[in-house]
A and B are shown apart, each in its own frame.
Chain A
Amino acid sequence: MGRDLDYRALDDDALMRRVGDGDASALEALVGRYADVLYSVTVRILHSEAAAQDVVQDVFVRLWRRPEQFDSQRGRFVPWLLSVARHRAIDERRSADRRLRHEGEAGTNHEILRVPDGSRDPAVAALLSEDRAEVRRALAGLPDEQRRAIELAYFGGLTQREIAQALQQPLGTVKTRIRLGMQKLRSAMTGVSLMEDQDELR
């Protein structure tokens, strides 16, 4: 059973192989490592702590039941996990928005991304270490309207066309904002492979 094994020392791919073998301790290690990150993303999307917890739970339960969904040959674990959680939360949000609209409430309460200083939480401070500073600076340097359009797409699950409708802006304007904003982020990413060094997440 390997109870003496130090799961914290295993990388994500090794933990996922163990999850595939039904090793509950490996799942526990992954939950310990990434529950906060997933929760941060899903709270942002859903604006509800309870709904976010449900989604994070669902993501990990599915991971446990169908670990083969992650294929290490096709990419790194963290981006994949984030993507699963984000899509799952966006789906949940869409159905919640539909319910709200049905009840006569608009579901378009989007705030603009805040850029954290990274000092509050040791784990996150590590995540936001020096070599990520360029990315943070680029993000902080984006004009608000570009950040807003990007967030509506990434965390709101809206297409450019839907954003244009929601903001009552021309589609071309929205496309330009997203294009310019993402190009700045992409330039800042040069030489920085986010989350590739998983030690920083521990």
Chain B
Amino acid sequence: MNCASVREQLGAHAIGGLDPVEERDLGEHLRSCAACRVEAEAFGQASEALVLALPVARAPASLRQRILSAAIAPAFAHEGGREHSKAPRWLWAAAAAALAIAGLAGWAIALQLQVNDADPAADRAVAARLDAYGELLRLQLDEETRRLDLAGSGDAAEAEALYVWSSGTRTGVLVCQNLPAAPSGNAYQLWVRTANGGEFSAGTFRPDELGEAELVVRRPRNSGPPSGGLSELLVTLEPAGGSSTMTGPVVLQGAISP
């Protein structure tokens, strides 16, 4: 191809109008002809101007939230991923779904709507779940965030859980799946075991019908870190309302590396 015939086609080239064969021939010429490359770039910029001719469509606000939920949440599970980004995919899929419904900006509104709904118990469950996923997202943005996997045992051998926490925000979130239903009159209780052997309760919870559960742990402002540091997290089955010391079988367990 000579320069004259190439330049006749540069307009079509810029808007993707050439057949594959034409495109190949043109590309060969452009690789060896700097003057035509300059001209091709000018046509490329002309094609961008076509975007300016579009009627302007305003993307719905929900789209931005959808994008951020879909992009950021699963990034934890991204293979070869980023620092502190290795939570299991199911967790982030769930978080993304919840966030897509709630929207970070509309967080409070979503909670309000849920609470105004007809079934108070279900509302509290939804509100608690939204709260947990909100904390998870905040933790994802915190560079100090650490995570711990808990493995199931006994009747809950299929269960798995993840505890994500940051000493900076004094907040942690436990997310469980595949937990057996807690028998009537019982609840699961999360325990923190310290390096010097002490244990304290971090709260109780019941899984939903799918065996999923979340628990947000907020350390009071006036409390310091446990003496001796943390060594282990455990979940046991206890009477509803919780026990003051561990009494039931351990269903989930994970050791904290120093």
Q: When the two chains form their complex, are residues B56 and A121 in contact, meaning their CB atoms are under 8 A apart? A: yes
Q: When the two chains form their complex, are residues A157 and B143 in contact, meaning their CB atoms are under 8 A apart? A: no
Q: Which residue of chain A has the shortest Cβ distance to B84 in the bound complex? A: A22
Q: When the two chains form their complex, are residues A41 and B54 in contact, meaning their CB atoms are under 8 A apart? A: yes
Q: A135-B52, A139-B49 are in contact. Are A179 and B63 (CB under 8 A)?
A: no
Q: When the two chains form their complex, are residues B11 and A53 in contact, meaning their CB atoms are under 8 A apart? A: no
Bound CA span A9–B1, Å: 46
Of B18, B68, B75, which contacts A31 at CB under 8 A?
Answer: B68
Q: When the two chains form their complex, are residues B48 and A35 in contact, meaning their CB atoms are under 8 A apart? A: no
Contacts of A182 in B (CB 8 A): 10-12, 14-15, 43, 46-47
Q: Is the interface of B mostly helix, strand, loop or mixed?
A: helix
Count how many chain B residues have C-beta atoms less than 8 Å from C-beta atoms of the other chain: 47
Q: A36-B58, A154-B15 are in contact. Are A79 and B44 (CB under 8 A)?
A: yes
Q: When the two chains form their complex, are residues A163 and B71 in contact, meaning their CB atoms are under 8 A apart? A: no
Bound CA span A175–B9, Å: 8
Q: A36-B57, A120-B56, A121-B58 are in contact. Are A150 and B50 (CB under 8 A)?
A: yes
Q: When the two chains form their complex, are residues B58 and A194 in contact, meaning their CB atoms are under 8 A apart? A: no
Contacts of B12 in A (CB 8 A): 153, 160, 175, 178-179, 182
B210 at the interface (CB under 8 A from A): no
Of A40, A56, A150, which contacts B67 at CB under 8 A?
Answer: A56
**Contact digits for A67-85, partner B, Cβ 8 Å, 1 yes 0 no:** 0000000000011001000
A108 at the interface (CB under 8 A from B): no
Q: When the two chains form their complex, are residues A40 and B71 in contact, meaning their CB atoms are under 8 A apart? A: no
Of A22, A49, A193, which contacts B82 at CB under 8 A?
Answer: A22
**Contact digits for A42-54, partner B, Cβ 8 Å, 1 yes 0 no:** 0110000100110
B244 at the interface (CB under 8 A from A): no
Q: A160-B18, A182-B12 are in contact. Are A194 and B45 (CB under 8 A)?
A: yes
Bound CA span A181–B12, Å: 10
Bound CA span A31–B58, Å: 13
Q: When the two chains form their complex, are residues A1 and B143 in contact, meaning their CB atoms are under 8 A apart? A: yes
Q: When the two chains form their complex, are residues A161 and B19 in contact, meaning their CB atoms are under 8 A apart? A: yes
Of A24, A37, A82, A185, which contacts B68 at CB under 8 A?
Answer: A24
Count how many chain A residues have C-beta atoms less than 8 Å from C-beta atoms of the other chain: 70
B60 at the interface (CB under 8 A from A): yes
Bound CA span A116–B56, Å: 8
Q: When the two chains form their complex, are residues B57 and A60 in contact, meaning their CB atoms are under 8 A apart? A: no
Q: When the two chains form their complex, are residues A163 and B17 in contact, meaning their CB atoms are under 8 A apart? A: yes
Contacts of A25 in B (CB 8 A): 141
Q: Which residue of chain A has the shortest Cβ distance to B137 in the bound complex? A: A24
Q: When the two chains form their complex, are residues A189 and B54 in contact, meaning their CB atoms are under 8 A apart? A: no
Max chain B CB contacts within 10 Å: which of A43, A127, A159?
A: A159
In the complex, what's the smallest C-beta–C-beta distance from A202 to chain B, in angstroms? 15
A96 at the interface (CB under 8 A from B): no
Interface residues of A in 177-201 (CB under 8 A from B): 178-179, 181-183, 185-186, 188-190, 192-195
Q: When the two chains form their complex, are residues B70 and A61 in contact, meaning their CB atoms are under 8 A apart? A: yes
Q: A179-B8, A179-B12, A193-B45 are in contact. Are A153 and B57 (CB under 8 A)?
A: no
Q: A22-B75, A31-B67 are in contact. Are A79 and B48 (CB under 8 A)?
A: yes
Q: Which residue of chain B has the shortest Cβ distance to A195 in the bound complex? A: B48
Apart from A35-B59, A64-B71, A195-B48, what 10 extra A-B contacts exist at CB < 8 Å? A24-B68, A52-B57, A53-B63, A57-B63, A79-B45, A139-B52, A155-B50, A182-B11, A182-B14, A185-B11
A→B interface (CB under 8 Å): 1, 22, 24-25, 27-28, 31-32, 35-41, 43-44, 49, 52-53, 56-57, 60-61, 63-65, 78-79, 82, 90, 113-116, 120-121, 124, 127-128, 132, 135-136, 139, 150-151, 153-155, 157-161, 163, 175, 178-179, 181-183, 185-186, 188-190, 192-195
